[in-house]
Amino acid sequence: MSLREKPEVMLRHVRKPLLHDSAVKQVQGAAPYIDDLPEPAGTLHVAVGGAPKAHGTIATLDLDRVRQAPGVVAVITAADIPGKNCVSAHMEDEPILAADMVEFHGQPLFAVAATSRDAARRAVRLARIEIAAAPPAVTVDDGLETGARVLPDYAFLGGDPNAAIADAPLRASGTLRMGGQEHFYLEGQIALAIPGEDGAMLVHSSTQHPTEVQHIVARALGVPDAFVTCEIRRMGGGFGGKETQACQWAAIAAVAARVTGRPCKLRLDRDDDFMMTGKRHDFRADWSVGFDQEGVIAGLDVLLAARCGMSADCSAGVVDRAMFHADNTYHLPAFRIDTRRVKTNTVSNTAFRGFGGPQGILAAERVIDAIAWRLGRDPLDIRKANFYGPGRDRTPYGQVIEDHDVGRALIEQLERMSDYRARRAEIAVFNASSPILKRGLALTPLKFGISFTLASMNQAGALVHVYQDGSVHLNHGGTEMGQGLFQKVAQVAAEEFGIGLDRVRITPTSTEKVPNTSPTAASSGSDLNGMAVQAACRTIKTRMIAFAAEHWSVPEDQVVFENDHVLIGNQRIGFGELARAAHCGRVSLSSTGFYSTPKLHWDRERGTGHPFFYYAWGAACSEVLIDASTGENKVLRVDILHDVGRSLNPAIDIGQIEGGFVQGMGWLTTEELVYDAEGRLLTHAPSTYKIPVASDVPADFRVALYDGANREETIYRSKAVGEPPFNLAVSVFCALADAVEAACPGAGQKLDAPATPEAIVTAIGDFDVVAALAGALAPNS
């Protein structure tokens, strides 16, 4: 039967390190992004005016001078929105344009459509805005003080954590602050809205979630969903920042297009993009743990308080995922994992690669480090002592870990590959003789749950056509943001039909072709869309097989697709020939495909279930060097071993691992979001917000894929790869804390994230650089 899984040796496209589908175009500047599309005649350009205060009511919004400015065609306020003025998909808590209350600095109040982008931007600055200001809650602590929440508090509780901690032989506690993170997708937010007949609207939006853009635009315009189409061929990066955050700009562009009757393009300036769009949630984790002399945890009590900003946005899922990962790879016999979804007068925080997982994992690893420091043991030993294992395999949310053997094998393999123990000894020698420079080392494990934790989102659709020449039109609900999804899925389609990739035409994601899609998020892109496309291909193939079997009078299992041909009994014809023949035989060569992830259930009220289809495992070992007197630091070497199941495309997967790791490293080292007391973001451009550059990447960077198939039935037994490797950067933070601890025993636990030079100096506290260097001065000099 030709629909069964092919033997590995017969795979022609899958498993191959093939290039990203657009690589050759990208290096020539020939891959168009939305701002590069030819503009329809008469296109107007939209700029957005934001609130000058973080909190208060709008006393005056005088736009007369804006309207009179050169080139201005229309000025849009909340009153001009024909439908619903709301940008939240499931709540009522965030307007497209604020009408009376201002809830963060830079919150969009109005928009200007003008004949050029320059004219629109200049006109925006002519507005006279007065806000009756109220004191803003800016930080997590401010928000905790006001008591305001965007969503109710929620906890996992198991056993009696208070008693377990109180009765344990040893206890530790602390607070870890973790900063947020700006996505800094290189292509900023952009939408181009083109009005059509009967009130229809075509929106080109740089979005990971075309369906949500469609719905919110339709709702804003007051038209049925079917009148709005959202299309996206490629984004210049997303990282979660174009999941919900693309909707507002699409909606404003669409309203402007409706009001003016002309195409309207809205591309945010980078500073506005920083100030007006959500970021990774910053967290404060207050923890206490009880443990024994071997470092085995008896009970953990952790309170995760997240700065959600002015509205809920994705905070339900983000903070839940922080809870789902607050165990990382460790068994917790008794636990309270409690959360606060804190409302502040800052931009509403949103999805960002890892989606809360990194914050939960970082808190877990801080607890482990603290135990190790207390016991004077190597943290890796404490990690191993607490690892999930037989009989210690139930997570705080009730799912039983069945493949902890993979995680354990993986860290042991990395321990050997990285030469961990010998380097630990060398570092101790170095640190003993180095006055101000200290090295640190950490090997941290990772378990990342794969599936949207909202079960209904785990579905995908595809649309595949085979034309009479045997070429294939490929479409699915996933979006391409650089991660190589389109290439991986094209490999699947080509593999199914046994044809060359040059016969598979990749097409833009459109709500017209595949409706009701989930966002390309939660690392699920290939898992979901790969399966949906495979299903569509197999539907068509089944029809072609049935036709061929009947037409040429052979049994169905003698129809085999391979090498651009179809073997039908003893004869071999071109794939296109069969397509043409099947068409003449009145066989449909077009099909949708659909997939929904099996085995998922989650009872949030009871806090138990099986929210994840499977886990991706990984581990990283990082070595760093710090200057204890200035806080300057450098990552010297990184070894990574990561589990992608059986890879669909190892080159793309390694790209995701390396890129995710470096992005995570940025979050934990140089990327600092600084707000002033008035709630103004001071780091709103790359001149002040520092993502990693080439020289920050360790010169010695060794990345390997763990060899093992996904034990669940996923697309070609692969595993999701988008988010998990981001978390491997936790090893860098732990290594920095290790170096800080070496510089000043007791200081490691004071290190907050990001570990900027100032944060390192602050953790170390008083450091007598004179005494340290005097000791290094040769006595005769």
Active-site positions read: 723
Task: Check: CB of residue 593 under 8 Å from CB of residue 536.
Answer: yes
Residue 260: Cβ-neighbour burial (10 angstroms; 0-12, 13-18, 19+): middle
SS (H, E, C) 311-358: CCCCHHHHHHHHHHCCCCCECCCCEEEEEEEEECCCCCCCCCCCCCHH
Q: Which among 198, 202, 204, 193 is positioned nearest to 260, based on CA atoms?
A: 193
- CA distances in angstroms from 725 to 120, 141, 340, 721, listed in the order given: 41, 30, 26, 7
Choice between 378 and 426, CB closer to another protein: 426
Please give the Cα distance from 366 to 304 (Å, whole number).
13
Choice between 272 and 338, CB closer to another protein: 272
Least Å distance, CB 634 to another protein, is 5
Q: Characterize the bridge pairing of strands 297-309 and 283-291.
A: antiparallel
Least Å distance, CB 746 to another protein, is 19
Least Å distance, CB 104 to another protein, is 18
Least Å distance, CB 521 to another protein, is 16
- Looking at the DSSP assignment, which residues form a beta bridge with residue 562? 565
Least Å distance, CB 499 to another protein, is 23
Choice between 185 and 330, CB closer to another protein: 185
Least Å distance, CB 758 to another protein, is 5
Choice between 428 and 773, CB closer to another protein: 773
Choice between 236 and 593, CB closer to another protein: 236
Please give the Cα distance from 180 to 492 (Å, whole number).
37
- CA distances in angstroms from 76 to 67, 69, 259, 373, listed in the order given: 10, 14, 8, 58
Choice between 20 and 341, CB closer to another protein: 20
Radius of gyration of the chain (CA): 28
Please give the Cα distance from 668 to 737 (Å, whole number).
11
Choice between 188 and 576, CB closer to another protein: 188
Least Å distance, CB 434 to another protein, is 6
**DSSP notation for 160-208:** -HHHHHHHSSEEEEEEEEE--B----SS--EEEEEE-GGG-EEEEE--S
Please give the Cα distance from 566 to 512 (Å, whole number).
32
> Phi and psi for 521 in degrees, rounded to 5?
-160, 175
Please give the Cα distance from 401 to 615 (Å, whole number).
9
Q: At what angle do helices 575-584 and 531-551 cross, to 10 degrees?
A: 70
Choice between 300 and 437, CB closer to another protein: 437
Side by side, the strands of the sheet bearing 297-309 are 149-158, 335-343, 297-309, 283-291, 170-178
Q: Characterize the bridge pairing of strands 149-158 and 108-114.
A: unpaired
Q: Which among 346, 270, 269 is positioned nearest to 685, based on CA atoms?
A: 270
Please give the Cα distance from 350 to 451 (Å, whole number).
18
Choice between 106 and 611, CB closer to another protein: 106
Q: Which among 728, 673, 737 is positioned nearest to 705, based on CA atoms?
A: 728
DSSP 5: P
Least Å distance, CB 629 to another protein, is 5
Choice between 314 and 626, CB closer to another protein: 626
- Total length of the chain: 781
Least Å distance, CB 380 to another protein, is 25
Least Å distance, CB 767 to another protein, is 8
Look up tokens 């129809």; give the residue: 559
Choice between 423 and 690, CB closer to another protein: 690
Q: Which among 633, 625, 629 is positioned nearest to 771, based on CA atoms?
A: 629
Least Å distance, CB 723 to another protein, is 14
Can you tell me whether residue 287 is helix, strand or coil? strand
Least Å distance, CB 740 to another protein, is 14
**Which residues of 239-318 form beta strands (DSSP E)?**
264-267, 283-291, 297-309
DSSP 227: G
Least Å distance, CB 422 to another protein, is 22
Please give the Cα distance from 450 to 83 (Å, whole number).
37
The amino acid at 51: A
Choice between 380 and 739, CB closer to another protein: 739
DSSP 21: T
Question: Would you give the end-to-end CA distance of the chain in angstroms?
Answer: 84
Choice between 525 and 593, CB closer to another protein: 525
Look up tokens 């740089």; give the residue: 206
| Max CA separation in the chain (angstroms) | 99
Containing H/E element for 367? helix 357-375
